[in-house]
Amino acid sequence: MKKINKIKWGIIGLGNIANQFANDLMLLEDAELTAVASRDLAKANDFAQKFNCTKAYDSYEALFADEEVEIIYIATPHNSHTTLSIKALENGKHALCEKPMALSYSDAIQMIEASKKNNRFFMEAFWTRFNPSVKEVLQQVRNGVIGDIKYINADFAFRGSETENQRLFDKNLGGGALFDIGVYPLFLSYILLGKPNEIVAKAIMHKNDIDLQTSMILQYESAQSILHASIVSNSDMKAVIAGSKGRIELNSPWFVADGYSLFINEEKEAVISLPVLGKGYSHEIIECHNCIRNNQIESKYWSHQNSLDLSGIVEEIKNQIKLSF
């Protein structure tokens, strides 16, 4: 039997998403969770035990120094992404950093430069880019199935609470709707239509100076995207892409869609089911493995330039709504 050469992962910041990600990592037979690190050793030990990982550290530095680890998944709050990604890359590790990769465009540039300088793979963990429905819809649009895109409507909204979702309401951690979830509808508009000619954004701010909800219009030469993000109300989280010949509706919640519907001239043409692997994170992990095995420092599906472009769009909105981090 052929021996599988497993890619050895480390995870830092053992919170909500780290747990979900580790579950999906377990589904891949060519992945190994080699080490985990928390600021709290007891938490690291519990996490390691839960996921059959042999090494648990009480500092992120210790994991950076672990020679066995090949790639580090950075699952910490937004404000720490830049420093920790650069440290990982400078320690010779590949890095997958949670979205949004940075709180400013200039920080994002530094991260990409660190990847190039150290010749190590780096990707912003934009898992939705690897969602099977999103991938197929992008191909359908590129093939002209719905004609020219005229209108995109997408949102990401849920009712958060200051006690249960402290990170989201904490300005020091880069909280607020735009940076946490607004990046998703912006991502959809960007992958389908590219960088807009003009952006108009309005927000309702919290007393802590983070945005509770933000609505955005992205203006293109012959299309518009109307996008919304909120941490104070629920929405049905559907995404609609309307073109000159037909439209596509991604199943809710669209950022982890398990299928989509295609309408041509208002007739329902097809209902396509495309299940995700695990919770949906395995797809981006497979891409990391492929890139590392092919000695690529970036993915062609979610490239360094893609992340920089999105970061630039977010920065423009951040300035318009006067978010000051």
Ligand X SMILES: NC(=O)c1ccc[n+]([C@@H]2O[C@H](COP(=O)([O-])OP(=O)(O)OC[C@H]3O[C@@H](n4cnc5c(N)ncnc54)[C@H](OP(=O)(O)O)[C@@H]3O)[C@@H](O)[C@H]2O)c1
Binding site for ligand X (CB under 6 A): 13-18, 38-40, 43, 75-78, 80, 98-99, 125, 127, 167, 173, 180
Task: Determine the Cα–Cα distance for residues 247 and 235; give it in Å rounded to an integer.
Answer: 20
Report the b/e string of 171-198 with b at 16+ CB within 10 A: eebbbbbbbbbbbbbbbbbbbbbeebee
Nearest-approach distance from CB 119 to ligand X, in angstroms? 25
Minimum CB distance to ligand X smaller for 155 or for 180 = 180
Minimum CB distance to ligand X smaller for 80 or for 153 = 80
CB–CB of 86/74 below 8 Å?
A: no
End-to-end CA distance of the chain: 53
Minimum CB distance to ligand X smaller for 59 or for 261 = 59
Task: Determine the Cα–Cα distance for residues 44 and 55; give it in Å rounded to an integer.
Answer: 9
Nearest-approach distance from CB 212 to ligand X, in angstroms? 16
- Sheet bearing 239-243, strands edge to edge: 198-205, 211-219, 224-230, 149-157, 239-243, 246-250, 259-264, 267-273
Nearest-approach distance from CB 229 to ligand X, in angstroms? 12
Place of tokens 């937004």: 78
Task: Determine the Cα–Cα distance for residues 24 and 257; give it in Å rounded to an integer.
Answer: 16
Minimum CB distance to ligand X smaller for 75 or for 257 = 75
Minimum CB distance to ligand X smaller for 137 or for 276 = 276
Minimum CB distance to ligand X smaller for 37 or for 223 = 37
Q: Are strands 71-74 and 122-124 parallel, antiparallel or unpaired?
A: unpaired
Nearest-approach distance from CB 298 to ligand X, in angstroms? 19
Residues found in the chain: 325
Task: Determine the Cα–Cα distance for residues 320 and 216; give it in Å rounded to an integer.
Answer: 10
Residue number of the CB atom closest to ligand X: 15
Minimum CB distance to ligand X smaller for 58 or for 136 = 58
Q: Are strands 259-264 and 94-97 parallel, antiparallel or unpaired?
A: unpaired
Nearest-approach distance from CB 162 to ligand X, in angstroms? 14
Nearest-approach distance from CB 76 to ligand X, in angstroms? 4
Nearest-approach distance from CB 83 to ligand X, in angstroms? 11
Calculate the CA dihedral of residues 207, 126, 50, 93 and round it to 10 degrees: -110
